[in-house]
Amino acid sequence: MKLILTQEVPGLGGPGDVVDVAAGYGRNYLVPRKYAIVATKGAEKQVSQIRRAREVREIRDLGQAQEMAKELGTLAVSLSTRAGKEGRLFGSVTAADVANAVTKAGGPSLDRRRIELPTPIKTLGTHTVSVRLHPEVAATIKIDVVAS
């Protein structure tokens, strides 16, 4: 099944890429979640539009990604949220919350989809979060979650 990706899918490709996947994977996972659209003649015209939007968001080259990784490594990020007496949060910290906290701390604006949270952050304290800036560069950010 030929599909055009509309969002980045880890291990498959980025927006605007035309990929060939198993029919069930495309029909049951990628298309319903709007990660991809079926590749038709009309949809192929949208590929250039998707690629242009991707280029605007994408970090230009490896050097820029490495500079941004150094900047993120030295950044002190604090995130205040509601918590109970035992240090457990009401809810959890999401990738969007992390992206907003980095921007408020004076760092670059990050796309929430590039922030990797292997497990949800549900406690107060210092946590390490990984950010994929480039296929070859990943930065780590230390986030201090405090009670508000």
Q: pLDDT tens digits, residue range 68-122?
A: 888 888 888 999 999 988 889 999 999 999 999 999 998 888 888 889 988 889 9
CB 28 within 8 A of CB 35: no
The secondary structure element, H or E, covering residue 148 is none
Q: DSSP secondary structure string, 18-29? A: EEE--HHHIIII
The hierarchical CATH code for the domain 2-57 is 3.40.5.10
Percent of the chain with pLDDT over 70: 95
Distance between CA atoms of 95 and 90, rounded to whole angstroms?
16
Phi-psi region of 109 (alpha: psi -120 to 50; beta: other; left: phi over 0): beta
What are 55-67's pLDDT values in tens digits? 666 656 777 888 8
Give which of 111, 21, 1 is closest to 59, Cα–Cα: 111
Instruction: Please tell me the pTM assigned to this model.
Output: 0.65
CATH 3.40.5.10 maps onto the chain at: 2-57
CATH 3.10.430.100 matches 62-147: yes
CATH 3.10.430.100 maps onto the chain at: 62-147
> CA separation (Å) from 26 to 34, 47, 48, 95?
10, 18, 21, 25
Distance between CA atoms of 144 and 85, rounded to whole angstroms?
17
How many residues comprise the chain? 148
Q: How far apart are the two ends of the chain, measured CA to CA in Å?
A: 49
Q: Which pLDDT score, from 0 to 100, does residue 60 have?
A: 63
Q: Where are the alpha helices (DSSP H) in the chain?
A: 23-25, 41-57, 62-74, 95-104
For residue 19 the two structure tokens come to 């990929």
